[in-house]
Amino acid sequence: MAGLKTIIVLSFILAIGFLLVILSSALFGPNYFPLLVVATYVLAPLPNAICSRCAMPDDFIESGSSGFVDFGRFLTGFLVVTGMALPALLAHSGIIQIPAMIMSIIGGLLVYGTVVSFGMFFQEETDF
Amino acid sequence: MTTSRLWRFPMPKLPSNPVLRTAGVYTAGALFALGFWFFIDASVYSKVANRSDVHVKFVDWIPLICSILGMLVINSIEKSRLSADSFSYSGGGVAWKARLVLFTGFALMAGGLSGSITVLVLKYVVPGYPWPTLYFGVANVVGNAAIMLSCIVLWVSQNIEEDYTYNLSL
């Protein structure tokens, strides 16, 4: 039952994720590059949402319609790995420190997990 | 299909599972990101934290650009048109055109991988640079190899899809 409790838990996790990312930016000598992780993970569910509208999955005659869906999934995988690779890149070049990298990766994963599970819990039934 | 087969050993049957196909496409995207960011990491490191005189220049970028273009070309092709010769309704040499474009894509991709190895050897190994500089060349090779692997995974998983719809239409 996806009710009020789920919303409260999810918003808590979202807040913790944002807190971790902002702390990772602010604690270790304020530089705000780790906030890019949040942008990446907020963008990550978008390609699937857009591309599933573009494609018509019940259209069996045109077999090429799943190209949009595949492209959306490809972009999603790209963005999720980007969210993890970006802090590692910044830490490797010495722009941010290693603890900031760890905190921003964990925070970004929490934000993305919240967005994905929100979509799973409150998915509307498709009407055909 | 089975009567006009050319090879004596049949192609091993790919598991036609839509879940596996979805996972394959996600994995392809992840591998692509891995390769791409590996090289971006090398160039950022070269710009920010580099202590030697050797930097990542445009020469290092050419193999990656070739690989990405090749991947774009290969995966823009509709795979079912490759075997279009066996169907009667597809005239006009569609399969021939598809094979030509696909050949261009594969040439770009192989050129990218071998070009990255060339850059590694000629720019970094032969002058004998130590590790943090050698990393630029190694990251170049790893990035191009990951993009090639991503292309292979995407190709195989799209073939899974093809098999699946074939079974569905029967």
Q: What is the pLDDT, as a whole number, of residue B70?
A: 93
| Per-position DSSP letters for B95-160, written without gaps between them | HHHHHHHHHHHHHHHHHHHHHHHHHIIIIIITTT--HHHHHHHHHHHHHHHHHHHHHHHHHHHHHH
CA-to-CA distance for B14 and A119, rounded, in angstroms? Answer: 32
pLDDT tens, position by position, B82-105? 665 555 555 567 777 788 888 999
pLDDT band with cut points at 50, 70 and 90 for residue B76: confident
CA-to-CA distance for A81 and A64, rounded, in angstroms? Answer: 27
CA distance A78 to chain B (A): 5
Domain ranges of chain B: 18-158
Domain ranges of chain A: 4-56+64-121
Residues of A with a Cβ under 8 Å from any B Cβ are 60, 63-64, 66, 70, 73-82, 85-86, 88-90, 92-95
Provide the ipTM.
0.81
- Mean of per-residue pLDDT scores for chain A: 81
> Among B129, B130, B146, which Cα is nearest to B64's?
B146
Measure CB to CB from residue B33 to each of A77, A93, A95 and give the nearest one. Answer: A77
pLDDT tens, position by position, B149-167? 999 988 888 776 555 455 4
Chain B contact set for A77 (CB, 8 A): 25-30, 32-33
